[in-house]
A and B are shown apart, each in its own frame.
Chain A
Amino acid sequence: MELSAHSINSKAPYKVSQSTNLSFTFTTDNGNVYEVGFLLDEMLLPDGVYQFFIMENSGNPMTKDDKIMMTIVAIMEEFFLNRDVVLDYICDTSDSKQSLRFRLFRKWFANYHNNTIFTFRPLSIEYDSISYYGAVILRKDHPMYDQFMIELEAFEHELADKLR
Chain B
Amino acid sequence: MNRSKRHLWQATAIATVAALGVAACSSSSSSSSSASSSSSSNAALTASAPGITPTTITIGSHQPLTGPAAPGYDEIAPASTAYFDYVNANGGIYGRKIIYKYLNDAYDPTTTASVVRQLVLQDNVYSIFNGLGTPTHLAVVSFLNSEKVPDVFVASGCECWNAPSTYPETFGWQLDYVSEGKILGQYVAQHFKGEKVAYFYQDDEFGMDGVKGLNYEIPASQVVSKQSYVDTNVNIAPQVAALRASGAKVVVAFSIPAFTALLKLDSLKLGFNPTLVVSDVGSDPITLSGLLESFAKQAGATVNGNQLTNGIITDGYLPSVGDTSNSWVALFTKVHNQYDAKEPLDGNFLYGMSVAYTFVQAMLKAGRNPTRADLTNAIQGGLPQGPMVAPFAYSSSNHLGVTGAYIGTIQNGVLVQQGSVLTTDTSATGPVTTFTGTEEQAPASGIPSP
Binding between chains A and B:
no
Chain A residues at the B interface, C-beta cutoff of 8 Å: none
